[in-house]
Structures are given as structure tokens and as C-alpha cells.
Structure 1
């Protein structure tokens, strides 16, 4: 961490969602898998996707969404979503006194409005009753492969009755990377996991696994994908030249409780 920088870890709220979604997009600008998904007829928009997804994380009783804030400017510089399996709501809020304050102080502001929930439920019901055509593009095929492999891993690592924590997502603004933001966001959860005596798992992107490794995570399984099998076009590099996308390795990592 930069000794001249101080930031605080706080609970995120609905009003933070646009900023958190933008940080997500910015932090994956150099990620080849995300870049490739943005190609094709129906390009993937990470910022838009996260803007729709994050409110559900904030409202979920089995998740804790935290933000890192630069104390000198109030700027949000990163965020993490922690998932819990086998924990009661009271256990998620405690026994860490900082965690209790984080959750209880903002719980009301984190709940979506009743009208928003009603509209969302209506849209979901309509989607179920009126299924559209299946997108069978190569990129969507890859998405189905990666989603299925993640579900396989989840069934394996945390079957029914398992008590554990997991990193849903961790994103740090590019200009703040390497300054201890990600480490602090992780530390909140590793302290909690160690106190509860549970393991943590994460489905790591190609660029993040070394950071997780530094914090006690071990790679147990991998998914190696040849992106060129699914890409609609070649990769345009920073020199304006085209090249192959190459292989991308997802890592399933696990951290055992310590202390």
C-alpha cells in the first residue's frame, strides 16, 4: 500500500452502483476474455451487466458488498462482493464489530424500492413465459461452457450443508491497482473466515490469481480455453496489429482457514 494513501472499507449502497459498475468495466479493459466477449453481433457490455447485477447483490441476505473509499477525496477506488454459504444473517453481520457496523448502518438504504422489485419480478415472469430465440454464436457457446464449468465446481466445492465464504467479484480502479486496495478488501473477508473456521474459494480471472495466491489461496483446478476457437475476429493489439487471442486460463482457488 502507498504510505501516503489512506482509504476506508465501507458498505456499498444502491447509489454507488453506477460507480461500481464503471470500476468493473475499467478494471477489465485489458482482460482478453472480456475483450473477446465485446466482439460480435451482440457485444457484451460489462458496465451495463454489472449495473443490472449489483443491486441484487446489495439486497441479498447472503452477500456483503463493500467499497474502498479514498479518505482524502471520498472517491470509490474498488469494491468486493462476499458470498456466504451456511451462515445465518446474524453470523454474516458478526462477530466482527466492524462488520456489524458496516451492515446495520446502511441496511435500509440497500433495499431496492418495492416498485423496482415488482417490475423486476414481472419482467422475469415474462421472460420465462415468452422465451426468445437461442443465441448460438461462438461467444455464447463459450459463455455456456464457462458457466457450466463454474456450476460443476460449485457443486463440488460447496455441496448442500457446506459452510464457507467465496469472492463473488473483486474490482479495483486501474489507477489504484498495486496500492493495497484489493488486499484490504480481501482482508475483511479472510479475517471473518478465519474467525469462523471456514474456507474461502474464488473463480479467478487470468490477471488476478497471483494476488489471491499472495493471500493464501491455492489453485486446485483450472479451465484452459482457446479463445481463438470462439472469437469472431482477431485481436487488435496496442500497436494496431492483429494477432491471435491465445489461451485463457480460469483458476479455481481455495484458501483454508488460518490461525
Structure 2
């Protein structure tokens, strides 16, 4: 178990060779998230390792996305990662570095199958003959709310940044890693004069609030309304484990205004 002692980390560009480690960090971090556990009870696979790995492979090369890793200065281990995408900004202004290695040949994606830089709901098969179940309804609700956020709350005529993800390995949480990643992204936004938007998990809300993000919209979910079964012994829930309830989970759409003195227009 981690000691809780703060560690020194370096923020470095993320490479293709780092993808398996970073995808595993994402999977481990979300494995104790009740919202993710419930979504994994649906008929469609919801494997956070696969989702994270696919997103990296599809977007790591794009010059409208910045990805970094947090490396423990003492051990050289990757202990966290983060990514941001940009909308409406001249690409020449984006401080893109990109991966320092080549994309594995076996992972080359067919042209035209890349994902958009903006956050959006997960892609799933359109099975019109299958009866919609409760997890389908949960996905549909979240997808619709995400699209409302992007269409109605985020100005389309103003350049901005989106947090694509900011994940810390469970063994290194509360040790300064997340703060280092947060400061890195905020510094980019301040330098460019950009508002940063994030679709925050329930657990990350306080951290984003600490670093200047303000809640603009909430989606309050009663997980028990959608879960096909009650939580089993040992599974993480939002409240008392003895209640046999998953509990309420709040997704927050948040923004952070840039400090004065930015350069982007």
C-alpha cells in the first residue's frame, strides 16, 4: 500500500510505447468507480483498458491533442497521465510535441475511422432488434446530456480546451501526482488564454474545484435505477456498503477561466 508521502514527478510527452501502462492505470483507477462498475453490467463490453487504449491509438498523433505522462523521478515509473484537446484554436499555437516513437504497424487504423477530438458518448453497435435494457438507457441519457453540454454550454465561436482525461494510478493518489498534471494543463490554458472544460467524475470534482473549475451543469444519477442487480460483497458503492445500494452519482460539467494575460484570440 502506498505511504501517502508526496513524490516528485516529471511531466513528459506520452509515447506509443507508454500506451499499455497508461491504459492499465485508467483501468485500475476506474475499477473501483461505482458508476463504471454499473455501466459494465450491460450487454455490451465496457472495458476501460480497451476504451483507453483505443482512444490513445486513435488520437495520440493528432496535433489538436496534447498527452503527457507523470513519471516518478525516483523510480522512473509512470504514475499518471493526462490529455487535453483544443477547439477553434489555430493549430500553430498549440504547443504540441507528440509521441517520440512510431505507431506500431499492427495498430494502424483505417483512414476515416478516427475519433473526434471533443468528448462524446461511447460508440456502441446499433442493434435495433434487441430490446433496450437499463444500461442502454443509462448510456443514452449520458450521451444526450453530453451533447447538450457541448451544444448549449460550450461556446462554439470561442477557442477552448477540453480535458480528455486526467488519471492517477490508485497507488499514487493523494501524493501530488494529480496536482502536477492539473497545473501542467492549466499553465497551457493560461498561456493561450483559453477556458478549459471538463466532464468530471463524482470523485474528481473536489480536485477540479480546488484548481479553479466551476460547475456549470450537473447530471445526478440514481445508479440503482439502472443497475440490473444489487452490488455484491466487496464491490464499491457510493454510500454504505451494507445498504446493498449503489447510491447516487453526480457527473459535473465544469469550466475554468484563464488567468489574465493570455495570448490566444
- TM-score for both structures, normalised by structure 2: 0.82
2:263 aligned partner: none
2:56 aligned partner: 54
Q: Is the 8 A contact 1:84 1:164 kept in 2?
A: yes
Q: 2:182 aligns with which of 186, 195, 211?
A: 186
Matches within 5 A, 1:83-232: 83-93=85-95, 103=97, 106=99, 109=101, 111=103, 113=105, 116-118=108-110, 121=113, 133-134=127-128, 136-232=132-228
Name which of structure 1's ranges 27-36 and 238-247 shifts more when overlaid on structure 2.
238-247
Rounded to whole Å, the distance in 1 between the matches of 2:225 and 2:162 is: 30
Q: 2:229 aligns with which of 222, 228, 233?
A: 233
Rounded to whole Å, the distance in 1 between the matches of 2:54 and 2:107 is: 16
Q: 1:10 aligns with which of 9, 12, 15?
A: 12
RMSD over aligned Cα, in angstroms?
2.5
Q: Is the 8 A contact 2:162 2:198 kept in 1?
A: yes
Please state whether the residue corresponding to 2:255 is helix, strand or coil.
strand
Please state whether the residue corresponding to 2:156 is helix, strand or coil.
coil
2:250 aligned partner: 249
Q: 1:3 to 1:15 in 2, by over 3 A?
A: same
Matched, 1:75 2:69: no
Offset at residue 113 of structure 1 (A): 4.4
Matched, 1:32 2:42: no
Count of matched residue pairs: 240
Q: 1:3 to 1:164 in 2, by over 3 A?
A: same
Rounded to whole Å, the distance in 1 between the matches of 2:31 and 2:233 is: 12
Offset at residue 248 of structure 1 (A): 1.0
Q: 1:174 to 1:4 in 2, by over 3 A?
A: closer
What are the ranges of 5 or more consecutive residues in structure 1 without an aligned counterpart? Answer: 94-99, 123-130
Q: Which runs of 4+ in 1 moved over 4 A?
A: 110-115, 119-122, 239-242
Q: Which has the higher helix share?
A: 1
2:119 aligned partner: none
